[in-house]
Structure 1
């Protein structure tokens, strides 16, 4: 008898998939924000940039692509808040969370590092201007590196908890083995992230993903790094709260069943 090779992804496979998916998300979306959001105007005076709408779509589309490409290997988290939210909901082992989170942070950092490398060979002042503007980092307050709309710390905290919780609740709903629809899960999740960005970019440049926030802050300078804690702590809080809420509302403990001979199973 010959052994049949296992088709189950190894731990290494899963970690590489998480790193690749987070890389795609950060490279594609932050690249859009830095290269294309405010590209300038054409000869007729019309804007050539993609603006907030284009950036929001970039986040949703890259996440969607990553889920369909590598979600079957790792589950397609690409976000520490999603990983902890799934663990809180009982869908993912807590012991595996640290490895996933490290892989996500590494993948995101590689994404922004490659953007920097492209910028080095761009116009003479492109990279310095991108870093002077915070490198698409998240922020709050009305300073040069703060909220695009001038929203304060309280608004950023509420937004990150609330929007991350909504995001994770949608993920848990559409991926439910009994009630979800796996064929459209990536589409639903990607569109949800797009809507979240459309609503919250003016508040704090939208995190809902600590790996994304870390990836941009490391090149954004002292001020984005000083505010980074908000965009690590509160998306994680929102993700965990969503996991607990989903588990309490939609994943009730299985009750024992009575068999015909009267025994409880």
Structure 2
């Protein structure tokens, strides 16, 4: 378990550092005179960054811990019968710790630029709804999109890692699905589908990011549990 704990912590660190880091440090990089850089990454670049972090970690730590790097994934695998409940707490602890380390390091790096401050609707790439939704979407829209996208995300993970699937290639569709998820939902919630990702930056941003964090635990876990149930009871073939 110590190897798995370390792998999950490193993997979640890389997801938050790479994905949120692309948003904080490179999405709209300012010129010295304060003008926005037209070559900034934007939504597409940030979406690709999140997908690439997951894809690279899938092949780096997948053989050690399964590369959950997301509490919702751990819950979904548990609900599908593929992950023991006794491992949930250590996995989730490792994931949240990795996210917190990444968020703190990102804040320290961002503070190295003159004029940086935790301001705007999504400081430090935090997630939110209402005034903290990039596109101004409300709580209900945020709840629905996070449940639905996490549900689909888990079905993709469970399907591509099924015993009858071509598991050697599973990291590719899983990583690409996270890109698509971000392309859909960055305007709505700044995309969570991962409570550790949300916590890792909300903790350091404080304020409303903490006040709204409950949704980004509740919705992804509900979506993941639903996907695990559907996979186990409706999609899996008959038991031998």
Give the TM-score taking structure 2 as reference length: 0.94
Alpha-carbon displacement from aligned partner over 1:170-227 (angstroms, at most 9, x marks no partner): 000000012x112211111000000000001001111000000001111222111100
- Kindly report the root-mean-square deviation, in angstroms, between the aligned alpha carbons of the 2 structures: 1.8
Asked if 1:152 corresponds to 2:141, the answer is no
Q: Is 1:107 the equivalent of 2:105?
A: no
Q: Structure 1: 5+ residue runs without aligned partners? A: 1-10, 256-265
CA contact (8 A) 1:131 1:221 kept: no
1:24 partnered with 2:10: no
Matches within 5 A, 1:1-265: 11-40=1-30, 47-120=38-111, 122-126=112-116, 128-129=117-118, 133-141=122-130, 143=131, 146-178=132-164, 180-252=165-237, 254=239
Number of residues paired by the alignment? 238
Query: Relative contact order (alpha carbons < 8 A, sep ≥ 6): 1 or 2 greater?
Result: 2
Q: TM-score, normalised by structure 1?
A: 0.86
Q: Distance in 2 between matches of 1:147 and 1:99?
A: 31
Counterpart secondary structure, 2:213? helix
Structure 2 unaligned residues grouped into runs of 5+: none
Contact 1:175 1:181 in 2 (8 A): yes
Report the Cα distance in structure 1 between the residues aligned to 2:77 and 2:191, rounded to whole angstroms. 21
Using the TM superposition, give the Cα deviation of residue 124 of structure 1 relative to its aligned residue in structure 2, in angstroms: 2.4
